[in-house]
């Protein structure tokens, strides 16, 4: 439950921007690639913060809804990830 660092937030916001653009253009392959880049960058930063991981899961939900629902509950959230705001 620590606060995210500036570097972690930068990775998150860069990913959000790219995912939104790719989804609007129906460029799903590049969106999946962006998720992989995001996870690698967050791993390099050793980020395990709920604040960041929840947002990544919300973005990933349209692409992998079942696993996101499971991970959402493992993060301690009640209710469905489908009810979370993007």
Task: Tell me the pTM.
Answer: 0.88
Chunk the chain into consecutive blocks of 10 residues (it has 86) and report each block's average pLDDT, rounded to whole numbers. 92 96 95 96 94 94 95 93 88
Residue 1: its pLDDT value, please? 74
Number of Cα atoms under 13 Å in the Cβ half of residue 26: 0
Residue 86: its pLDDT value, please? 76
């Amino acid at each position: 439950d620590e606060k995210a660092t500036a570097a972690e937030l930068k990775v998150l916001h860069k990913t959000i921007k790219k995912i939104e653009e790719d989804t609007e253009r129906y460029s799903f392959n590049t969106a999946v690639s962006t998720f992989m880049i995001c996870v690698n960058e967050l791993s390099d930063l050793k980020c395990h913060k709920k604040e960041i991981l929840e947002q990544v899961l919300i973005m990933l939900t349209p692409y992998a809804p079942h696993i996101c629902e499971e991970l959402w509950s493992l993060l301690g959230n009640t209710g469905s990830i489908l009810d979370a705001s993007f």
